[in-house]
């Protein structure tokens, strides 16, 4: 497709389980971002991948959160031992980098619910 | 970290009315962005501002980059039902590429 694709669109899990969220960026976009949006809140930066550089992990809230980007394309965000406070919408975005913010596009997100 | 204070938190307006919302920061931003988010979707960029004092329009939307570089506002004129959604201000702190977002303004347009 032409846009940023995220899967699954919804994920319900039990407290303590691990989850993996996937992001397929726009083809050719070298920069990829993960954000978290809690109910009624703005977006909170989690992690940023740029080409082959080491990712900026400064936004990850705890060591239960990790992400990887294979082959400079698809990215997976993993949350281990999920907690109820992890419930949120997880959004992925991609852009050419460097590039204007007019070229930054978001996916529709994964709604994560931890019971 | 740096925070963006966005107000109002929510607005209920009549169709046809004009709307204004603003965003302030305790530190300087060199870029101000305004996004709209519809339910179940990611944010979509409405207007990007790159220069202090800049006033930019996109149809019925007008945004300004404050001269102090610590604030920005968004105006929507003659609101219509499809303007309903959540509006976010955002900007990159310092030289970072990732964005800091305001907490959003939920806009409801009443017929």
Q: What confidence score (pLDDT) does residue A4 get? A: 97
ω into A8 cis (within 30 of 0): yes
The predicted model gives A9-20 an average pLDDT of 98
Q: Residue B86: what pLDDT?
A: 97
pLDDT digits (tens, 9 = 90+) for B78-103: 999 999 999 999 999 887 888 999 99
Distance CA B36, CA B90 (A): 11
Residue range A76-102, pLDDT digits in tens: 999 999 999 999 999 999 998 777 888
Query: What are the two backbone dihedrals, phi and then psi, of residue A21, each rounded to the nearest 5 degrees?
Result: -115, 140
**Which residue from A8, A11, A6 is spatially nearest to A74, judged by alpha carbons?**
A6
* Cα separation values, A108 from B42, B44, B91, Å: 5, 10, 20
Interface of B with A (CB under 8 A): 4, 6, 31, 33, 40-45, 48, 88, 90, 96-104
Do A22 and A74 meet the contact criterion of CB atoms below 8 Å apart? yes
Q: What average pLDDT does the segment A25-34 reach?
A: 94
Asked if A101 lies within 8 A of B33 by C-beta distance, the reply is: yes
Q: Residue B67 CB: number of other CB atoms within 10 A? A: 10
Q: What is the pLDDT of residue B1?
A: 54
| Residue B95 confidence (pLDDT) | 79
Q: How far apart are CA A51 and CA A72, in angstroms?
A: 6
The continuous run of DSSP H or E covering A91 comes out as strand A88-95
Which residues in chain A are closer than 8 Å to B36, comparing Cβ atoms?
none
Q: What is the CA radius of gyration of chain B?
A: 13
Residue A56: band (very low, low, confident or very high) from pLDDT cuts 50, 70, 90: very high
Q: pLDDT band for A18, please (50, 70, 90 cuts).
A: very high
Q: Confirm if A87 and A112 have CB atoms less than 8 A apart.
A: yes
How close are the terminal C-alpha atoms of chain A, in Å? 32
Report pLDDT for B93.
85
Residue A107 Cα, gap to closest chain B Cα (Å): 5
Chain B residues within an 8 Å CB radius of A33 = 98
Chain A closest CA to B62's CA: distance in Å?
16
**Under-70 pLDDT residues of chain B:** 1-2
- In this prediction, residue A1 has a pLDDT band, given cuts at 50, 70 and 90, of low
């Amino acid at each position: 497709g032409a846009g940023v694709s995220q899967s699954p669109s919804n994920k319900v899990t039990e407290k303590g389980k691990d989850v993996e969220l996937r992001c397929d960026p726009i083809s050719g976009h070298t920069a990829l971002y993960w954000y978290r949006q809690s109910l009624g809140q703005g977006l909170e930066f989690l992690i940023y991948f740029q080409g082959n550089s080491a990712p900026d992990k400064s936004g990850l809230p705890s060591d239960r959160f990790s992400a990887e980007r294979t082959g400079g394309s698809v990215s997976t965000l993993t949350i281990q031992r999920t907690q109820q406070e992890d419930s949120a919408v997880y959004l992925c975005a991609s852009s050419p980098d460097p590039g204007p913010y007019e070229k930054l596009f978001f996916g529709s997100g994964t709604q994560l619910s931890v019971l | 970290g740096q925070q963006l204070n966005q107000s109002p938190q929510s607005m209920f307006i009549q169709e046809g009315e004009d709307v204004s919302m603003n965003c302030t920061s305790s530190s300087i931003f060199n870029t101000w962005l305004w996004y709209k988010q519809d339910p179940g979707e990611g944010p979509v960029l409405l207007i990007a501002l790159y220069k202090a004092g800049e006033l930019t329009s996109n149809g019925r939307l007008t945004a300004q980059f404050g001269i102090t570089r610590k604030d920005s506002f968004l105006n929507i004129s003659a609101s219509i039902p499809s303007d309903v959604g959540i509006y976010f201000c955002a900007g990159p702190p310092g030289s970072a590429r990732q964005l800091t977002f305001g907490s959003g303004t939920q806009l409801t347009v009443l017929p």
